[in-house]
Chains A and B, each alone.
Chain A
């Protein structure tokens, strides 16, 4: 009974935390995607996915209380004026220690421990007191440090940096030449304006191996009958799909049953190319496709 109540409480608390987290993270990291190809303040689906990634990584790692982003922003300015000279601009240490691995910082919840050190200094360790900072400002600094820890420890918050470093002209030559991209694709057809539709990271990964949602499947039965449909499940033992008119098919993978995934066939050339690209070719091709605004 007791245990049930506790679990229910944690479930409710967990849900609340998740909702708060998403809201806070959208605030925190929503506008920071410039390097990853953000266009303005609106969230692209990719950015929303990134927020989800931050949340799930957070849960996977078991990170503690979420930093308060407003306080952290204020704390960042206070830290820059008062603390960064000794502890480094990102708190990763200079003359004075790295604060991101400091036990005081990591044990602190909301400024109660960090605040004392700021207020009284650490006599004997060479750290002066910052008695003029208010309680609220000490809290802000603490939240800034917690956010720095979060940005280090939660790899779901990491942003890919500037990846458009290739030569677009060389990329174009590769597209029409050695890469044979133009066999299936056209920069005036399926790839028209791709540089304004997708972020550079999405373009780079899609050109290497497209994320195709297509689940079209054709199953050939031992007697030669072919049935096409939309795949539901496939493993070594069963193929399950819906036919063109919505009818359900569940077929055992006995000998003589052949399964052909349309997307898989279309991707065969991409798989082959994965073993052939040089990094320079990949970067040039990325730059070319990003330039197709």
Chain B
């Protein structure tokens, strides 16, 4: 194909010249200026969180001939605490090399052939065995160990540069995120809600690892927002973990992040009030860590409705005016669209049937339904106990104007297991009664479901091990996985299935795509294996 040769020459000039001149592999200032088109240098591919690639070598008419070109299996002899490793990270692809993780292991692999360049093995002392990948600055990588360290590696050799402790694993702080590099900041959020500890985001110096700023997901006593808690003790133990990577708008110089559920998680009796800034989308200045605006999606949450799902940045025309938008399909079942300059709500509309909320306030914030809180004798809820979606990355295609999310429709029962006046931890539990996984395409202007694909399965409670992310491309394609091990390509416009490939286990990360040597590759992680696809030569 003619244009692929042109692409190829263009690509080689991009990759080889900087290497020859000794420049850094991923210049942070260049990344800020131009959205990457052929590489995948951040968790979401770029700063917008859209997971839309302009590549179109693979497209609707030819996707049926997509083939596996290589696979890579992470072999951790004893597994991760006895379980096989799971690739939840979206590999970075920079200068022909993929960088990805399983918990406490980092791999560098030739993106064209799958040959391993190096493998870094961190000896951890406990912690939550999940990891979502690395961040990159120049020639350096950053990743989080399960026991709450951030470690910087030399991307060329896999040698450790430095390590810094970011939290105490014995307080049940999880560090599972892919650190996010924005200019001269390495930004990461902590996770973990088993014990009642405060959430925070922090920024570190990419060179030294020194702390630049820290932003807590609860206000300090006396600050605005503190009036949404009954007392300082509840506020200081209020949770709100920002455990996924955020997004960034260079023009506005604003960082967008979602925060998690409050603590105690399901026993809300000791934290009467809206519990800010938990279950909230916030905009921060990345240079200072100061909050500029906020929008709370689940005031006084009692169902574990994390609001950490990717805040996707979209530029679109609404009522004839170009708008800078932020869209999120939240775990609480609402599809939110905000003006990302000031956080003003444009749209709040359920994308699954739900009854935890009885409508929205004038400012777009959902109103909790007091009759649907967890109770000792059980409260029936229209929603799967795991929520309407989770961390699996959504996608937005500017070609279709549709937002894609893997969602779950269902019913559950929520019990309050700690009815005392000093509950701690979860203090309750939710059990799914019936659930149906669906892929949805949501019109960002109306919130209407343009099409919905219910995954055919025999399992009425849903398979919990799959967390299939989504990818859209300029080839009019949508890639994602079902809950039965299939990677699937859809026509992004109408939801028709065009291709599928049965993997050994279900898709466990967000698929990605890149261009190397004139060939477009699609990468999917399923359990311990990366599958890499391309069109036949």
User: Hey, which bits of chain A sit against chain B, CB under 8 A?
Assistant: 3-4, 6-8, 10-11, 14-15, 18, 59-64, 88, 90, 92-93, 98, 100-101, 103, 106-107, 149, 152-155, 158-166, 204-205, 208-209, 215, 231, 233-237, 253, 259, 261, 264, 267, 270-271, 274-275, 277, 279, 282-283, 286
Q: A11-B82, A62-B127, A264-B460 are in contact. Are A152 and B195 (CB under 8 A)?
A: yes
Cβ of B425 within 8 Å of any chain A Cβ, yes or no, is yes
Interchain CB contact under 8 A, A271 and B434: yes
The residues of A that contact B170 with a CB separation of less than 8 Å are 64, 103, 106-107
CA distance A235 to B434 in the complex (A): 18
Q: A62-B126, A160-B417, A208-B413 are in contact. Are A153 and B431 (CB under 8 A)?
A: no
CB of B430 to closest CB in A, whole Å: 10
Interchain CB contact under 8 A, B434 and A61: no
28 pairs, A vs B, C-beta closer than 8 Å: A3-B121, A7-B78, A8-B78, A11-B78, A14-B78, A14-B82, A18-B82, A60-B128, A60-B129, A62-B127, A62-B128, A62-B146, A149-B195, A153-B194, A153-B195, A158-B428, A158-B429, A160-B417, A161-B376, A235-B456, A235-B482, A236-B456, A236-B484, A236-B488, A274-B433, A279-B379, A286-B377, A286-B378
Interchain CB contact under 8 A, B422 and A93: yes
Q: Which residue of A lies closest to B424 (CB)?
A: A152
Interchain CB contact under 8 A, B126 and A64: yes
CB of A7 to closest CB in B, whole Å: 4
CB of B381 to closest CB in A, whole Å: 10
CA distance A277 to B412 in the complex (A): 12
Q: Which residue of B lies closest to A61 (CB)?
A: B194
Q: Which residue of A lies closest to B421 (CB)?
A: A92
Known: A59-B129, A152-B425, A154-B194. 5 other contacts (CB 8 A): A11-B82, A101-B237, A153-B195, A161-B416, A279-B380
* B residues 166-204 touching A (CB-CB < 8 Å): 168-172, 194-197
In this complex, the member of A100, A149, A155, A264 whose beta carbon has the largest number of chain B beta carbons within 10 angstroms is A155
CB of A147 to closest CB in B, whole Å: 13
Query: Of the candidates B76, B411, B457, which one forms a contact with A274 in the assembled complex, judged by CB atoms under 8 Å apart?
Result: B411
| Binary per-residue interface labels of chain B (140-179) against chain A in the complex, 1 for a CB within 8 Å, 0 otherwise | 0000001000000000000000000000111110000000
Query: Of the candidates B121, B382, B417, B500, which one forms a contact with A159 in the assembled complex, judged by CB atoms under 8 Å apart?
Result: B417
The residues of A that contact B375 with a CB separation of less than 8 Å are 279
Interchain CB contact under 8 A, B77 and A4: yes
| Binary per-residue interface labels of chain B (273-302) against chain A in the complex, 1 for a CB within 8 Å, 0 otherwise | 000000000000000000000000000000
* B residues 90-135 touching A (CB-CB < 8 Å): 121, 123, 126-129
Cβ of B455 within 8 Å of any chain A Cβ, yes or no, is yes
The residues of B that contact A154 with a CB separation of less than 8 Å are 194
Q: Which residue of A lies closest to B459 (CB)?
A: A234
Interchain CB contact under 8 A, A235 and B415: no
CA distance A234 to B483 in the complex (A): 11
Q: Which residue of A lies closest to B124 (CB)?
A: A62
Cβ of B371 within 8 Å of any chain A Cβ, yes or no, is yes
CA distance A11 to B78 in the complex (A): 5
Interchain CB contact under 8 A, A155 and B376: no
Interface of B is mostly: loop
CA distance A62 to B103 in the complex (A): 12
Q: A59-B81, A101-B197 are in contact. Are A235 and B376 (CB under 8 A)?
A: no
The residues of A that contact B171 with a CB separation of less than 8 Å are 101, 103, 106
Interchain CB contact under 8 A, A92 and B422: yes
Query: Of the candidates B121, B127, B377, B434, which one forms a contact with A162 in the assembled complex, judged by CB atoms under 8 Å apart?
Result: B377
Q: Which residue of B lies closest to A156 (CB)?
A: B429
Cβ of B419 within 8 Å of any chain A Cβ, yes or no, is yes
Cβ of B362 within 8 Å of any chain A Cβ, yes or no, is no
Q: Which residue of B lies closest to A5 (CB)?
A: B77
User: Hey, which bits of chain B sit against chain A, CB under 8 A?
Assistant: 76-79, 81-83, 121, 123, 126-129, 146, 168-172, 194-197, 237, 353, 371, 375-380, 382, 411, 413, 415-419, 422, 424-426, 428-429, 431, 433-434, 455-458, 460, 482, 484-486, 488, 497, 500, 502
Closest 9 CB pairs of A and B: A7-B78, A235-B484, A11-B78, A106-B170, A152-B425, A7-B77, A209-B433, A153-B194, A274-B411
Query: Of the candidates A62, A204, A275, which one forms a contact with B378 in the assembled complex, judged by CB atoms under 8 Å apart?
Result: A204
Q: Which residue of A lies closest to B453 (CB)?
A: A236
CB of A178 to closest CB in B, whole Å: 16
Q: A106-B168, A153-B194 are in contact. Are A161 and B417 (CB under 8 A)?
A: yes
Interchain CB contact under 8 A, A103 and B429: no
Q: A14-B78, A100-B195 are in contact. Are A155 and B425 (CB under 8 A)?
A: yes
Interchain CB contact under 8 A, A153 and B425: yes
Interchain CB contact under 8 A, B434 and A8: no
Q: Which residue of A lies closest to B266 (CB)?
A: A155
Interchain CB contact under 8 A, A234 and B457: yes
The residues of A that contact B146 with a CB separation of less than 8 Å are 62
CA distance A81 to B280 in the complex (A): 44
Q: Which residue of A lies closest to B422 (CB)?
A: A92
CA distance A159 to B376 in the complex (A): 10
CA distance A122 to B429 in the complex (A): 37
Query: Of the candidates A107, A162, A234, which one forms a contact with B458 in the assembled complex, judged by CB atoms under 8 Å apart?
Result: A234
Interchain CB contact under 8 A, B380 and A62: no
Interchain CB contact under 8 A, B424 and A92: yes
The residues of A that contact B76 with a CB separation of less than 8 Å are 7
The residues of A that contact B127 with a CB separation of less than 8 Å are 62
Interchain CB contact under 8 A, B500 and A237: yes
Q: Which residue of B lies closest to A154 (CB)?
A: B194
Interchain CB contact under 8 A, A103 and B434: no
Q: Which residue of B lies closest to A161 (CB)?
A: B376
CA distance A204 to B457 in the complex (A): 25
CA distance A59 to B488 in the complex (A): 32
CB of A109 to closest CB in B, whole Å: 10
The residues of A that contact B353 with a CB separation of less than 8 Å are 275
Q: Which residue of B lies closest to A18 (CB)?
A: B82
CB of A100 to closest CB in B, whole Å: 6
CA distance A103 to B168 in the complex (A): 9
The residues of A that contact B422 with a CB separation of less than 8 Å are 88, 90, 92-93
Q: A158-B426, A161-B419, A162-B376 are in contact. Are A205 and B431 (CB under 8 A)?
A: yes
CA distance A169 to B352 in the complex (A): 35
The residues of B that contact A107 with a CB separation of less than 8 Å are 170
CA distance A103 to B411 in the complex (A): 39
The residues of A that contact B82 with a CB separation of less than 8 Å are 11, 14-15, 18, 59
CA distance A216 to B171 in the complex (A): 48
CA distance A10 to B77 in the complex (A): 10
CB of B408 to closest CB in A, whole Å: 14
CB of B54 to closest CB in A, whole Å: 29
Q: A59-B81, A59-B82, A283-B378 are in contact. Are A235 and B455 (CB under 8 A)?
A: yes
Interchain CB contact under 8 A, A209 and B426: no
The residues of A that contact B418 with a CB separation of less than 8 Å are 158
